Structure 1
Amino acid sequence: MLRIANTENGQVRGLPAADPRVTTFKGIPFAAPPIGVNRWRAPQPAENWKGVRDCFEFAPISVQDTPGVGDDIYCREWHVDPEIPMSEDCLYLNVWTNAKSAYERKPVLVWFFGGGFQWGYTSEMEFDGERLARRAIVVVTVNYRLGALGFLCHPQLTIEQPNAPCNFGSLDQQAGLKWVRRNIANFGGDPDNITIAGQSAGGGSVMAQMACKENAGDFKRAVVMSGMFGSPYEVNEFFLPQSLEQAGKKGERLFDYLGVKTLEEARKLDANYIRNKYSELRNNGEMFFTIVQDGHFCTDDPMEAFRNGSRLRVPVMGGNTGDEFIEYIHAADDDELVKKAKKYFGSKADEFLAFPEAKVKTNLGYSPVSSPELGVKNAFLGESRQKDPKDCYYYRFIPDIPGNDSPGTFHSVDLWFFFETLAKCSRPFAGRHYDLARQMCDYWANFIKNGDPNGFDINGNMLPEWKPYTHADRNEMLFTSNGAQASTENNSFLMFLLDELK
C-alpha cells in the first residue's frame, strides 16, 4: 500500500484506515500558516521540510465558536467535541487513497465543508473518505479560514493588496485545489480528473469556484449539495455577493468594535479575541458570510453565472433535502395573501392564487416552497438553454430519519448517506438506511469517475437510471426509504414558480 508519498514540500507518511487497503494522510500543509503578517492575505506557499512528515492526525480546526457546547441538532449530530484543537494555523488538507503506487491515476474528489462560512471543519466524522476510497477514488478534504478571519473586507485591505483584498477563505479553497492539481499524482490520483464538491456553504463555495475563471481546467465536474437557492417571493440578500464598498463598511465597523484603527494593529490582535468580539457583532447581524465582488476572484454572482452560461461549464450533480430552507409568503390572512401575490407576481397573481398550493397555510406562512429545490432547478434550466448544454443531475433526499427528535430530512443529514458513514452516527439507522447510503455513495462515485452517476453499484448491480434535468425532460432522482427512485417532475405549481423565479 502507498504509505509514503512525495509532495512539493517534502515527503509525508500516512496510516492504514480502518480498512488497511486504504491509507489516510491527515494534516498535510498546502499553504503557509495565515498568521501574523499573513493574516487577511491570500494563502502563501508552504515551507519545505526535511525527512518524512508523519501525517497521522487532523490539523487544528479553523478559529470559530467552540463546537459541542450547545444542544442544537448540529451539536448533537457531529459538532460533539468542545476539546477539539483549534488554531489560526489551519491551512491543511487530508487524503484518503487505496492506491498501491503513485502511478495509478484514480479519479479525485476535492471536498469543501459547509457551516455558513462561520463553522465547520474537515475532521467532522461524517466526512470520512474511506468508503469512497474503497470505490477507487482519491478523496481530499480541504480546510479554509472562516468568519472574520476568512471573509473580512476592509478599505485598508483594498488599498494594500488590490489583487486579493478579501475572500480569503475562498482563496484557501482555491489554493487547496491547485495543490491537488500539482501533487495528487503522487497519491495515485489523476490531476486531470478532479471533481469539486461541497454542501451548504461548501456547495456555495463550489458555485463560487465554478464562477472563477482562474480555475479553468482545474476540475472536470462539480457537486453542489444544498448550495443553490431561489425564491419566488422575496429576494434573499444572504445568498448574493456583496460589493467591496458594502463589505468594507462592515469591516470598518468590526475594527471599531475591536478597538483598532489600522490593519497593522488588527493583525497583532489575538485570534481568539477577534473571534469572541466578532461573534458578538455577528449575533447582532454583522456577519461576514459570503463572497465579495472584488474584480479578481469574484466578478459575477455565481448563480447568475450558472444561469447565463458564463461559469466554468462542467457536468453538475445537485439537489436538496426535503425539509430544508422552506420559503413562505408571510401574510396575516387571505386578504394580505392576495396583496402579496400581486406584489410578487403582478398580472399573474390570479394565476398563482388559482393553484391549491398557494392557499396552503402553516404557522410560518402561506405557499410553502423549497428554496434550494427552486434554486437548483432554476440553475439547471439555465444550463439547458446553453449551446451544447452540460449534463445536470437533480436529486431530492426524502427518506425517514429516525430519532427521538423526529427531525425530518433536516439540512445536512444527507451527508451521512453520501459519504456512507452512518455507522458513526448516533441515530438508530436500520438496514434500509444503509442500503440507501450504499446506493447514494455509488451514484456519487460514478459521477466523480466520469461525470455520469449511472452504472453499477459496488456489488455489481445496475443502479436505477438517473437522467439529466432539462427544460424538455424534468427528470429527478428521489432518495427514499425504499431506495433510489427515478421520477419526472409534473408539479405545475413548481413549474409556474420556476418561470417567475427572482
Structure 2
Amino acid sequence: MGEDCLYLNIWTNAKTGDEKMPVLVWYFGGAFQWGYTAEMEFDGERLARRGIVVVTVNYRLGALGYLAHPQLTAEQPDAPCNFGPLDQQAGLRWVRRNIANFGGDPDNITIAGQSAGGGGVMAQMASKSNEGDFQKAVMMSGLFKNPYVRNEFFIPRTLRDAEKLGVMLFDELGVKTLEEARKLDAQFIRRTYSDRMINKGMMFTIVNDGIFCTGDPLEGFCDGTRSRVPVMAGNTGDEFFEFIHAENEDRLKELAEKYFGDSAEEFLSYPEAHIQYGQGYAPVSAPEMGVKAAFLAESRMADAKPCYYYRFVPDIPGDDHPGTFHSVDLWFFFETLAKDTRPFEGRHYDLARQMCDYWANFIKTGDPNGYDINGNKLHEWRCYTDADRAEMEFTSDGAVAGVENSSYTKFLLDHVK
C-alpha cells in the first residue's frame, strides 16, 4: 500500500502490436473506500486466452480519492475533486493511447466494474468528457434503485456539501490549510478518515462538481444523456435488499399509501408485500430494480441500445451456507474459481466457463450470444426491453434463459420514481 498507486495491469495473448484485439478496462469495487487491482479473482488470464486484452486500473480511494474542500476548489477550479473517477478516466485514456502496442484495438474498448466499480462505470458513462472513448459497458451489482425511498449513496453530493465534509476532515486532522494537510503522512490521513469519518457514516464519494460529474448517473442513463453504448448488467440473488421500514401491518398500509398513492391497494394485494424482512416488509433487490428501471427507460427510446440483464443464483458451497453474496459472481465471470478456497465442484467450473464465454462475447461484439470457448453454441440471451423482459439466470445447472414472471416486480418497476 502506498501513495504511488496509479498503475495498471495488462494481460494479452497478442504476439504483435497490430492484432487489434478487443479490450476490457476493469474498475474494482469497494464502496469507493477499499479495494485494489490485484485481488485474486481479477486475474485476467482466462479472458486473455479468449482473445481479449485485459487491463485492470487502479484509482485513489477514500479521502485521497474523493475529498472536496473550499481551498482545493479555489486552487484548481477545473478539477476540484473526484480524483478517483478522474484516475479511472486517466487509465482509460492511457489505454486509448497505448493499448495498440499490446495488440489491443483502441476503438473496441469495454469498461466494466463491480459494486462501486460499477458505480464508476456509471459515472464514466454519464460524463460528457468520455464520449467515444469506449464502445460497451458492464455493471455488476453497481446500479441501485430503492422503489420506496431515495437511495442517497450513489447519488453525487453537491460540491458545497462535499466541501463541508472536507472541512470536517481537516478539523479531525488538526489542520486548517492545504499546505498543512499536504505535510501529513498519508497513512495518518487514511486512519483518521477511517476512524473519525467512515465509522460515523460519513463517506466521501463521487461529487457533482459541474465538470466531470453534472448530475445523477442513473438519471443520465434513463434520460438518454449517457454515452449510448450496449450494456450488460445484473446482480446476485442475495445482495442489497431494500424494504419498507414498518413495525406492523397497520404501519405498512400507511407507508404504502404514502409511496404508491391510489395504487397502494394493488401493492398490498401482492403476497410479497407482506413478507417480513429485517425491521420491515416487502423486500426487493435494489440492484435488480436499478438495472431494470434503467433498461426499461433505454428500451423506450427511438434508437434503443442493446441491454442484457442477468441474475446470479447458483448454490455456493461452504460451511457458512453463504448464498449468492455480494461479489461472489466475480470468481465466475473471470473464471478464477481455482484460486478460491471454497469447495467448488465440476458444475461450478462449468458455469464459470460459460459465464466467462458470455462475457467475452459481449466484450468482443456488444452481444453476449455466440459460441463458447470449445465451439459450442450458447443458449440465447435476449435483451431486456419493455416488450420482452428477458432475463438470463446463472444457476447450478448453467445458464437458463427466461422472462420476468413476477407481477410484483413489474408493479414496482411501473411505479418506481
TM-score class, shorter-chain normalisation, is over 0.9
Three-state SS of the structure 2 residue aligned to 1:283 is: helix
1:241-280 alignment, distance < 5 Å: 241-280=156-195
Runs of at least 5 residues in structure 1 that lack an aligned partner in the other structure: 1-85
Q: SS in structure 2 opposite 1:275?
A: helix
- Please give the alpha-carbon distance, in whole angstroms, between the structure 2 residues aligned to 1:363 and 1:186: 53
1:344 deviation in Å? 1.1
| Secondary structure of 2:139's aligned partner | strand
Q: Does 1:347 align with 2:267?
A: no
Q: Which amino acid aligns with 1:415?
A: L
- Counterpart of 1:186 (choices 98, 101, 120) is 101
Higher RCO (C-alpha under 8 Å, 6+ residues apart): 2
- Verify: 1:406 aligned to 2:321, yes or no: yes
Partner residue of 1:388?
303
Q: Is the 8 A contact 2:382 2:390 kept in 1?
A: yes
Which sections of structure 2, spanning at least 5 residues, go unmatched? none
Shift of 1:300: 1.8
Matched, 1:128 2:18: no
Aligned residue pairs total 416
User: After superposition, where does 1:80-95 map in structure 2 within 5 Å?
Assistant: 86-95=1-10
- Residues in 2 aligned to 1:404 and 1:96: alpha-carbon distance in whole angstroms: 34
Equivalent of 2:347 in 406, 413, 432: 432
Describe the superposition over 1:272-315 as per-residue Cα deviations: whole angstroms up to 9, x where unpaired: 00011001121012211x21111110012100000000000000
Q: Give 1:362 deviation, angstroms.
A: 3.0
Q: Trace 1:144-159 onto structure 2 (pairs within 5 A).
A: 144-159=59-74
Equivalences for residues 55-134 of structure 1 within 5 A = 86-134=1-49
2:271 aligned with 1:356:
yes
Q: In the alignment, which residue of structure 2 is the partner of 1:32?
A: none
Distance 1:243 1:137 in 2: 38
* Aligned-partner SS, 1:237: coil
Partner SS, residue 238 of structure 2: coil
Aligned to 2:55: 140
- Residue 222 of structure 1 aligns to a residue whose secondary structure is strand
User: Which residue matches 2:398?
Assistant: 483
Separation of aligned partners in 1, 2:51 and 2:256: 51
Q: Could you tell me how far apart the structure 2 residues matched to 1:271 and 1:361 are?
A: 45
Structure 2 residue 202 is the aligned partner of structure 1 residue 286: yes
Q: How far apart are 1:232 and its partner, in Å? A: 1.2
Give the match for residue 338 of structure 1.
253
How far, CA to CA, are the matches of 2:180 and 2:278 in structure 1?
A: 49
Contact 2:65 2:83 in 1 (8 A): yes
DSSP-derived class of the 2:200 partner = coil
* Separation in 2, partners of 1:363, 1:404: 23
SS of the residue 2:153 aligns to: helix
Whole-angstrom distance in 2 between the partners of 1:163 and 1:499:
40
Match of 2:231 in 1: 316
CA distance in 1, matches of 2:194, 2:215: 29
User: How big is each residue's C-alpha offset from its partner over 1:411-439, in whole Å with a ceiling of 9 and x where there is no partner?
Assistant: 00000000000000000000000000000
2:132 corresponds in structure 1 to 217
1: CA distance, partners of 2:278 / 2:206:
33
Task: Write the deviation string for residues 57-77 of structure 1: whole angstroms up to 9, x where unpaired.
Answer: xxxxxxxxxxxxxxxxxxxxx
Q: Which amino acid aligns with 2:268?
A: L
Is 1:459 aligned to residue 374 of structure 2?
Answer: yes
Shift in alpha-carbon separation, 1:256–1:363, aligned structure 2, 3 A: closer
Look up the SS of the partner of 1:239 in the other structure. coil
Shift of 1:267: 1.1
Cα displacement (A) at 1:265: 0.9
Q: Which amino acid aligns with 1:177?
A: L
Q: In the alignment, residue 201 of structure 2 is paired with which amino acid?
A: G
Alignment partner of 2:367: what SS?
A: coil
Structure having the higher helix fraction is 2
Query: Could you give the per-residue CA deviations for residues 246-280 of structure 1, whole angstroms, max 9, x where no partner exists?
Result: 11100000001100000111111100000110011
The equivalent of 1:161 in structure 2 is: 76
CA contact (8 A) 2:247 2:279 kept: no
Instruction: Please give the alpha-carbon distance, in whole angstroms, between the structure 1 residues aligned to 2:203 and 2:145.
Output: 21
TM-score (norm. length: structure 1): 0.82
Q: In the TM superposition, what is the alpha-carbon distance from 1:173 to its structure 2 partner?
A: 0.3
Counterpart of 1:225, as a letter, is M
Q: Could you tell me how far apart the structure 1 residues matched to 2:256 and 2:389 are?
A: 26
Secondary structure in 2 aligned to 1:495?
A: helix
Q: Deviations over 1:224-249 (max 9, x none)?
A: 00011111112111121100011110
Runs of 4+ aligned structure 1 residues displaced above 3 Å come to none
* Residue 205 of structure 1, CA deviation: 0.3
Task: Classify the secondary structure of the residue corresponding to 2:375.
Answer: coil
Verify the 8 A CA contact 2:246 2:279 in the aligned structure 1: no
Rounded to whole Å, the distance in 1 between the matches of 2:278 and 2:150 is: 21
Query: Deviation per CA, 1:103-122, whole angstroms, max 9, x where unpaired?
Result: 10100000000000110000
2:388, 2:186 → 1: CA distance? Answer: 51
Displacement of 1:365 = 2.1
1:257 and 1:489 map into 2 onto residues whose CA distance is: 50
Please say if residues 208 and 215 of structure 2, whose CA atoms lie closer than 8 Å, have aligned partners that are also in contact.
yes
Indicate the SS of the match to 2:250: helix
Q: Which residue type is aligned with residue 474 of structure 1?
A: R
CA distance in 1, matches of 2:146, 2:278: 19
**CA distance 1:117–1:363, shift in 2 (3 Å):** closer
Aligned letter for 2:47?
A: L
Aligned to 1:370: 285
Q: Structure 1: how far apart are the matches of 2:130 and 2:278?
A: 45
Shift of 1:206: 0.3
* SS of structure 2 residue aligned to 1:123: coil
Structure 2 residue aligned with 1:51: none
Partner of 1:226: 141
